Structure 1
Amino acid sequence: MRIPLIAGNWKMNKTASEAATFVRELAQKAIPSPAVETVIAPPFTALDSVHRTLGLGSSIGLAGQNLHWEDHGAYTGEISAPMLKDLGCQYVILGHSERRAIFGERDAVIQKKLAAAFRHGLKPILCVGESLGEREAGRTAEIITGQLKGSLAGFTATHLATLTVAYEPVWAIGTGKAASPEQAVPVHQTIRQLLQQEWSSTIAQGTRILYGGSVTPQNVASFLASDEIDGALVGGACLQVESFASIIALAQKRTGH
Structure 2
Amino acid sequence: MDVAVGIVAQRNNARAQELAQTLVDTLEREYEGVATVVDELTGAAIDADGVPIPAMGDRDFVVSIGGDGTLLFVAREVGATPILGVNLGEVGFLNAVAPDDAREVVTELVGRLRETESLEGRKLARLQASGADGSWTLDPALNEVVVHGPRRGHGGGATIDVEIDGQRYTTSRADGVLVATPTGSTAYNLSEGGPLVQPAADALVVTQMAAADGMPPLVVDPDAEITLTVSSAETAYAISDGHDRRELEPPATVSIAVADEPVTLVGPQANFFDALEKLE
Task: Choose 1 or 2 for highest CA Rg.
Answer: 2
* TM-score calculated relative to the size of structure 1: 0.26
For normalisation by structure 2, the TM-score amounts to 0.25
Per residue, is there more strand in 1 or in 2? 2
